[in-house]
Structure 1
Amino acid sequence: MVRDWLVGLGVAVACLVASWGLLVLLARRLPPGVLRDLAAFIPDCLTTVRRLRADERVPRRAKVAVVLAGLWVASPIDLIPEFLPVIGPLDDIVVVALALRYAGRQVPREVLLAAWPGEPRLLLRLLGPAHGRAAAPTR
């Protein structure tokens, strides 16, 4: 009984990994543009999470936020089921976007841009305008 369960679970995991591999291969064949940027968004976010987690310039709070976002993306449990076309990955994108915006307020932009493997304009658009700290006026 338990053995059958484990075999079924193994087959399900293998099918899931194979489907992800197929999606990655198909996404690489997309022409440059918005669709390709969207297809690369989640993998780029996961790479950024991994890089920021290892960077000592990133404060602990920002690390916790981006690691939680990475776990959310990797989790098979979603608010919106992944099999729904177009809107399936929406909850993952929103969670990652919020975590990166939070980290963007605590981490220098240069660190975030260095960790981002994708198109920099996409990350800059996600982060919004830079909020530089104004220097105190000198008398």
Structure 2
Amino acid sequence: MNPWWSIALALFGGLVLLWLVALAALALVRPRGNLLTEAIRLLPDLLRLVHRLARDRSLPRGVRVRLWLLLAYLALPIDLVPDFIPVLGYADDAIAVAVVLRSVIGHAGPDALIRHWPGTDDGLAAVRRLAGLPAAPDR
């Protein structure tokens, strides 16, 4: 076999393996129960929240970089998980938002979430649950 074909085949196999690992990781970190449904319903408000947080210069640079990378991923027309895969196919954007949001709130604190939340108080309560925070006091 030509060595170039061997290299190309190895690269392709490595990429497929990496994709399968990423798919398994998404399945493991996805929100349980009705939180995934709430995350999908709240996606427009979550996108506004992520954009507002990414533009907030008072947050650490690493937090803002994560948020900009998330926005870039969400803007891409190609998803990590194709839509024909049941459940995860349509929910991969919501799962990505939930994972990044947990990380951001862990570093920036829940005050940044409250300060930038564009939606309703019920939506904020759902986002707090999605981020693994306890029930919130009134805004």
TM-score normalised by structure 2 residue count: 0.59
Q: Could you tell me how far apart the structure 2 residues matched to 1:36 and 1:87 are?
A: 12
| Separation of aligned partners in 1, 2:36 and 2:92 | 18
After TM superposition, the structure 1 = structure 2 runs for residues 37-76 of structure 1, keeping only pairs within 5 Å, are: 37-76=38-77
Work out the CA distance in 2 between the residues paired with 1:115 and 1:128. 18
Correspondence for 1:7? none
Q: Which has the larger radius of gyration?
A: 1
Contact 1:116–1:123 under 8 Å retained in 2: no
Shift of 1:117: 2.1
State the superposition RMSD in angstroms.
2.6
- How much identity, in percent, do the aligned residues show? 36
Unpaired segments ≥5 residues, structure 2? 1-33, 135-139
Distance in 2 (alpha carbons) for counterparts of 1:71 and 1:41: 19
Q: How many Å separate the matches in 1 of 2:118 and 2:46?
A: 9
Relative contact order: is structure 1 or structure 2 higher (C-alpha 8 Å, sep ≥ 6)?
2
Deviating 4+ runs (over 3 angstroms):
33-40, 82-87
The answer for unaligned runs of 5 or more in structure 1 is 1-32, 131-139
Query: Distance in 2 between the 1:80 and 1:121 partners?
Result: 28
The one-letter code of the counterpart of 1:99 is V
TM-aligned CA deviation for residue 83 of structure 1? 5.9
Per-residue CA deviations over 1:40-66 (Å, capped at 9, x if unaligned) read 322122101210122122111111111
**2:107 and 2:36 mapped to 1: Cα distance?**
30
